[in-house]
Amino acid sequence: MRIAASYDSLQYGKIPSPFFNKEQNPCMARQIRAVSLISGGLDSLLATRMVQDQGVHVEGINFYTGFCVEGHTHAIRQKDRARPKRNNALWSAEQLGIKLHIVDVIDEYKNVLINPRHGYGANMNPCQDCKTFMVRKALEWIDTHDFDFIITGEVIGQRPMSQRKDTMPVIARESGAGDRLLRPLCAQLLPPTLPEREGWVDREKLLRLNGRSRKPQMAMAAKFGFEEYAQPAGGCCFLTDEHYSKKLVDLWQARGDRDYELDDIMLLKVGRHIRPAPHYKLIIAREEGEGRFLEGYRKRYPALQVVSHTGPLVLIDGDASRADIELAARIAARYCKGRDAEQVTVEYRAPGMQETVALQVSPLPTSDIPEDWYV
């Protein structure tokens, strides 16, 4: 039986969790504590549970960048309204019985997205920089809250950019976390970390998962009694989505500036985006729920609403001239139930206008909307 902690552990007033007994060691400071990056996915759920089972006190942390897939689309679209909505990170934390700290990092994340040191993946996903950023933020958190190490659910070979044998050590180094970053699911394939060397966790009880197969994780979930979990392969970030990324690049190109606000990146997730000219684009609601969502932006954007027929709300993003507005009205008419009518009435109102302006337009034929207008 291992008796003594290392000198370092004693110096910091911590003892390995298997030996933590407050009654026997009243003068010892406290139980070992770790924070786990909880994405809401299966891997972080399992990694956390593994460390909990070794007697470590774990709390969860989740960083909100603004590009999260879950929640938004389900909250917006009418067809998804009946689906049970839950925040998967919160759900994971509840399954684990741990606190979850959700941190708004929207502003700080801009620099990660705009200037990624390691570039982008297949789309606008700066995965390696993103993970480095999140681990760095977790490090700041553990230092502020007197926690001891960080857990992630990373698995070597799981993701093409950030979870590779060559990139994972870079993430640990560049984040500043170094050997205070533990990856329980593949720890045996990596050099021992501080919590392992100190005996805070038993390396022999950690795993050596490798590759993209999800079967080992699914088997573990069954063993732990996790009957449901979020889509295990991830796909939780809009930046990995080709269509979303295209709209983001279009936004940056049109503005000549990569800066953005939360509303900008939220609007990219909603509606049909059509750019008839470089200086403006249309955001067209595709269904009732999106229309309700876009209503909330009327105070910020000029809007068109077909009133003679059932039709979508359309926002205008940019500086549209009168001729542009008339073209936009014809496009809005194209997407209403009166698309085959001779004339459609469309109301236009810009923020600050006291009254709407009614436009009588003929719907633009689909053939007159060039493919390259669609963003």
Name which of residues 294 to 333 contact other proteins (CB under 8 A). 296
Q: Is 91 in the site for other proteins (CB under 8 A)?
A: yes
Taking the complex as a whole, the smallest distance from the CB of residue 322 to other proteins amounts, in Å, to 31
Q: Which of 6, 19, 31, 90 binds other proteins (CB under 8 A)?
A: 90
Taking the complex as a whole, the smallest distance from the CB of residue 31 to other proteins amounts, in Å, to 17
- For other proteins, the closer of residues 246 and 298 by Cβ is 298
Taking the complex as a whole, the smallest distance from the CB of residue 242 to other proteins amounts, in Å, to 23
- For other proteins, the closer of residues 188 and 231 by Cβ is 231
Q: What is the side-by-side strand order in the sheet with 280-284? A: 272-277, 280-284, 313-318, 303-306, 344-349, 357-361
Taking the complex as a whole, the smallest distance from the CB of residue 114 to other proteins amounts, in Å, to 22
Total site size for other proteins, rule CB under 8 A: 29
As a three-state string, the secondary structure of the chain is CCCCCCHHHHHCCECCHHHCCCCCCCCCCECCEEEEECCCCHHHHHHHHHHHCCCCEEEEEEEECCCECCCHHHHHCHHHCCCCCCCHHHHHHHHHCCCEEEEECHHHHHHHHHCCCCCCCCCCCCHHHHHHHHHHHHHHHHHHHCCCEEECCCCECCCCCCCCCCCHHHHHHHHCCHHHEECCCCHHHCCCCHHHHCCCCCHHHCCCCECCCCHHHHHHHHHHCCCCCCCCCCCCEHHHCHHHHHHHHHHHHHHCCCCCCHHHHHHCCCCEEEEEECCEEEEECCCHHHHHHHHCCCCCCCEEEECCCCCCEEEEEECCCHHHHHHHHHHHHHCCCCCCCCCEEEEEECCCCCCCEEEEECCCCHHHCCHHHEC
Taking the complex as a whole, the smallest distance from the CB of residue 94 to other proteins amounts, in Å, to 5
- For other proteins, the closer of residues 72 and 309 by Cβ is 72
CA distance 334 to 309: 11
Q: Is 100 in the site for other proteins (CB under 8 A)?
A: yes
Taking the complex as a whole, the smallest distance from the CB of residue 95 to other proteins amounts, in Å, to 10
Amino acid identity of residue 271, one-letter, is G
Q: Is 98 in the site for other proteins (CB under 8 A)?
A: yes
Name which of residues 22 to 81 contact other proteins (CB under 8 A). 62, 64, 68, 70-72, 74-76, 81
Name which of residues 70 to 89 contact other proteins (CB under 8 A). 70-72, 74-76, 81, 84-87, 89
Q: Which of 10, 21, 29, 104 binds other proteins (CB under 8 A)?
A: 104
- For other proteins, the closer of residues 86 and 214 by Cβ is 86
- For other proteins, the closer of residues 296 and 365 by Cβ is 296
Q: Is 110 in the site for other proteins (CB under 8 A)?
A: no
Taking the complex as a whole, the smallest distance from the CB of residue 292 to other proteins amounts, in Å, to 9
Q: Is 266 in the site for other proteins (CB under 8 A)?
A: yes
Given the rule CB under 8 A, which residues bind other proteins?
62, 64, 68, 70-72, 74-76, 81, 84-87, 89-91, 93-94, 97-104, 266, 296
